[in-house]
Amino acid sequence: MTDASLAARGAALDLLETVLRKKIPLDDAFDAHEGLDALEPRDRGFVRLMVATVLRRLGQIDALITETLTKPDPIKAGVLDILRLGAAQLVFLDTPAHAAVDTSVAIAEQRGLQHYKGLINAVLRRVSREGADIVKKQDAGRLNTPDWLWLAWRTAYGTPRTRGIVEANLVEAPLDLTAKSNPHEWATKLDGTVLPTGTVRRASGGQVSELPGYDDGAWWVQDAAAALPAKLFGDIAGKTVYDLCAAPGGKTAQLAAAGAKVTSLDRSERRLRRLTANLERLNLWADTLTADAATWKPDELADAVLLDAPCSATGAIRRHPDIMRLKSQEDVTKLAGAQRRLLAHAVDLVKPGGTLIYCTCSLQPEEGEQRIAHLLSTGAQVDRSPVTPDELGGLSELINENGEVRTLPGQLAELGGIDGFFIARLVKRT
């Protein structure tokens, strides 16, 4: 057991505790952890993989631990987290048994939990012997999905499509990139493929910043579904666009690359700094502004407005499994209220005849379909402008009966799936 392997497990334990108990998103916890910089990139990658696997498979792992516990007594949170990380390595990450068990016992010692070393050793040895058979019999998709999400998705999409969502959420998403131009050329250079919608897709893994074209700003990371809203403005060259919730800037970059005159707003100064840095790398330009999009009053109305509203992000669980452990139905209700206010105000920022696109990376109808239905029921001066299959590379299954885009993670499975997204295009009445 090396110092590095122990340090990696220690960092993973810290991160798991930060997400599960302090309710801090994994990306933020990762950025703030001081010990990670001392690790090799490969070990840092393994830390993230261990934590993401526990968060993705928490229901299965907890059921497995319960089944293999020698005594049914409740276990201390710190001990449980060590067991969870150990079990994830043994059953899902193919870590050799001695490495997973020995490091787990050593971490317990380091954290003042020496009293539990015997229990950790016994449970993990049993998991290493019986774990694979036990998880084979589990209903993985259902066990790992919190009840509130399972019920909400079944109500909205029915059981077969919910099955598709939860199965897709078990697997890490591929790496999707938007190329500034020539996606086919970049797909060849990056050993990827081009999806019907134009996204360049390659298998996940490795350091993104080491890939060809990163330093030259030839492309940026953006899920295939997240790349759709900006495309639905059509030919946007020379038009004024307000990107109201813009950071970290994936959609601003698309609009700027397409020749639009973009003003990018975000309430968070910190996130807006990331947007500026991203645009700099890409050699693209937009006006930026820290402001509340629910009240911001520009001097002029825009040809086009994009509202990529803050949401529960339940469509992005493949990439961010922590969402399942952090969000609740109360969050969805609260966010829907904010979206309602942002959407009503966004209508007022569009010129007559101009286009408003509303989108969220949520699977919850309260943050998608219901927001548009509600807006239209209030008599807002906009009409739906239905999306047609040719605008999505022929993928008609991504369009609902109202001409809105509704993607589900179980769709396009043969191509590697797609994040869950909702997109509505509206036109301001003249």
Binding residues: 245-251, 266, 292, 308
Assess contact for 398 and 406: CB atoms under 8 A.
yes
Is 359 in the active site? no
Tokens, residue 335: 């966010």
In this structure, are residues 80 and 20 in contact, taking their beta carbons and an 8 Å threshold? Answer: no
Q: Taking Cα atoms as reference points, which of 72, 222, 27, 57 lies closest to residue 142?
A: 57
Three-state DSSP class for 136? helix
Catalytic residue among 336, 347, 361, 405: 361
Would you state the structure tokens that stand for residue 315, as one six-digit string? Answer: 């469509």
246 touches ligand SAM by CB under 6 A = yes
Question: Could you tell me which stretch among 53-61, 63-71, 249-257, 413-421 binds ligand SAM (CB under 6 A)?
Answer: 249-257
Name the minimum Å distance from CB 260 to ligand SAM.
14
343 near ligand SAM, rule: CB under 6 A: no
Q: Which residues are annotated as a binding site for S-adenosyl-L-methionine?
A: 245-251, 266, 292, 308
Closest distance to ligand SAM from the beta carbon of 251 (Å): 4
User: What are residue 307's DSSP bridge partners?
Assistant: 358
Residue 83 in the binding site for ligand SAM (CB under 6 A): no
Distance CA 421, CA 430 (A): 29
CA proximity to 240, closest of 255, 250, 257: 255
Closest separation in Å from C-beta 343 to ligand SAM: 11
Binding residues for ligand SAM restricted to 276-305, rule: CB under 6 A: 292-294
* Nearer to ligand SAM (CB atom), residue 246 or residue 405: 246
Give, for 358, the enclosing helix (H) or strand (E).
strand 350-360
- Note whether 423 binds ligand SAM by CB under 6 A: no
Stretch that binds ligand SAM, among 104-112, 138-146, 241-249, 419-427 (CB under 6 A): 241-249
Largest CA distance in the chain: 74
Q: Find the part of the chain contacting ligand SAM (CB under 6 A) among 178-186, 210-218, 242-250, 419-427.
A: 242-250
Residue 357 binding ligand SAM, by CB under 6 A: no
Which segments within 244-349 are labelled E, that is strand? Answer: 261-266, 287-290, 302-308
From the CB of 112, what's the least distance to ligand SAM, in Å?
Answer: 39
- Residue pair 61/87 in contact (Cβ under 8 Å)? The answer is yes
Per DSSP, the three-state class of 115 is helix
Active-site positions read 361
List residues binding ligand SAM (CB under 6 A). 245-251, 265-268, 271, 292-294, 308, 310
